[in-house]
């Protein structure tokens, strides 16, 4: 395992990803961002967990400081995670994913059950807007928001993509997330969910809360999957306002894999 501290650009395909690895001998934790977010959103979680862990963060294609690409597909994100782990010599990390990153974590853990120690999913759940009606609703939302993207990108809340590219990333995510129940039911690693409350940008009243109930049968069928916390923050603010709950879920998983009680 390469555990030296490192910050730089990692070449992948036709792009390069901005990557930070705190190094050290601690349990490796790899953070997977929201669809258009950058690695800065994890700073409160990382500060809470401190030096007992090795923290690896990176910006996906056209997010944060990473370079643009010709491919913004979900499979490209899977390849990026593969390359990050390979480059840093990491085996059996805890994956912590928020929103899009949570769904990415499910699929990577499903494909590589022997290479992941555990999975923390932050307010991602197996539901989404699907079909042509759902796709058109998403495209309409992103067309309305197109003038905000340059400002939002500087705040780590949007990618350096066109409105159409933002929309297509979201459409694909909704289709993949909506088909996620069988994936979650197959997972063999310990999984902890930290769920928000209420709605998010683009959702209608009560839609997000209804979507979170889709997890109920998964919890009943797969004993590896548990709810660590349901917090007061909404989807967008959960990492800012309830970072401690996310950090505590990481501690729970670390304790599970080490066979010891979690620290408060």
CA–CA dist 33, 205 (Å, integer): 25
For Cα atoms 256, 191, 166, give the angle at the middle one, nearest 5 degrees: 140
Give the pLDDT confidence score for residue 208 in this predicted structure. 86
Give the pLDDT confidence score for residue 71 in this predicted structure. 98
Which residue has 């996906």 as its token pair? 60
Residue 211, SS3? helix
Does a structural domain hold residue 105?
Answer: yes
Tens digits of per-residue pLDDT, 247-261? Answer: 999 999 999 876 545
Question: pLDDT by residue for the chain (264 residues), tens digit each?
Answer: 578 899 999 999 999 999 999 999 999 999 999 999 999 999 999 999 999 999 999 999 999 999 999 999 999 999 999 999 999 999 999 999 999 999 999 999 999 999 999 999 999 999 999 999 999 999 999 999 999 999 988 888 899 999 999 999 999 999 999 999 999 999 999 999 999 998 776 666 778 888 899 999 999 999 999 999 999 999 999 999 999 999 999 999 999 876 545 556
Does a structural domain hold residue 170?
Answer: no
C-alpha dihedral sign at 244, 247, 251, 252: positive
Considering its fold, how many domains does the chain have in total? 1
Does a structural domain hold residue 144?
Answer: no
Dihedral class, residue 131 (left if φ above 0, else alpha if ψ from -120 to 50, else beta): left
Does a structural domain hold residue 103?
Answer: yes
Does a structural domain hold residue 132?
Answer: no
User: Is the CB of residue 133 less than 8 Å from the CB of residue 204?
Assistant: no
Quick one: 264 exposed, middle or buried, by C-beta within 10 A (0-12, 13-18, 19+)?
A: exposed
- Domain with residue 241: its CATH number is 3.40.50.1820
Pull the structure tokens for residue 103: 């769904």
Give the pLDDT confidence score for residue 112 in this predicted structure. 97
Does a structural domain hold residue 190?
Answer: yes
Give the pLDDT confidence score for residue 162 in this predicted structure. 95
**Residue range(s) defining the domain that contains residue 49:** 6-127+177-258
Does a structural domain hold residue 71?
Answer: yes
User: Is the CB of residue 181 less than 8 Å from the CB of residue 218?
Assistant: yes
Does a structural domain hold residue 143?
Answer: no
Give the pLDDT confidence score for residue 88 in this predicted structure. 97
């Amino acid at each position: 395992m390469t555990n030296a501290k490192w910050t730089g650009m990692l070449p992948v395909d036709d792009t390069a990803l901005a990557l930070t690895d705190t190094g050290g001998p601690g349990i490796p934790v790899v953070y997977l961002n929201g669809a258009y977010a950058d690695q800065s959103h994890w700073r409160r979680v990382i500060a809470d967990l401190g030096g007992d862990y090795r923290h690896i963060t990176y910006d996906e294609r056209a997010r944060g400081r990473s370079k643009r690409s010709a491919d913004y597909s979900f499979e490209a994100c899977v390849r990026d995670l593969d390359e990050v782990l390979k480059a840093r010599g990491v085996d059996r990390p805890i994956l912590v994913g928020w929103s899009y990153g949570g769904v990415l974590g499910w699929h990577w853990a499903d494909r590589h059950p022997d290479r992941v120690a555990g999975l923390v999913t932050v307010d991602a759940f197996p539901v989404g807007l699907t079909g042509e009606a759902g796709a058109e609703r998403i495209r309409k939302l992103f067309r309305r928001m197109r003038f905000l993207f340059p400002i939002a990108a500087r705040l780590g809340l949007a990618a350096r993509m066109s409105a159409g590219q933002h929309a297509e990333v979201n459409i694909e995510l909704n289709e993949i997330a909506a088909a996620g129940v069988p994936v979650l039911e197959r997972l063999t690693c310990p999984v902890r969910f930290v769920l928000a409350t209420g709605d998010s940008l683009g959702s209608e009243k009560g839609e997000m809360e209804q979507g979170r109930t889709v997890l109920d049968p998964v919890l009943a069928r797969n004993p590896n999957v548990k709810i660590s916390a349901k917090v007061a923050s909404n989807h967008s603010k959960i990492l800012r306002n309830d970072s401690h709950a996310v950090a505590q879920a990481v501690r729970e998983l670390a304790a599970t894999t080490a066979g010891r009680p979690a620290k408060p």
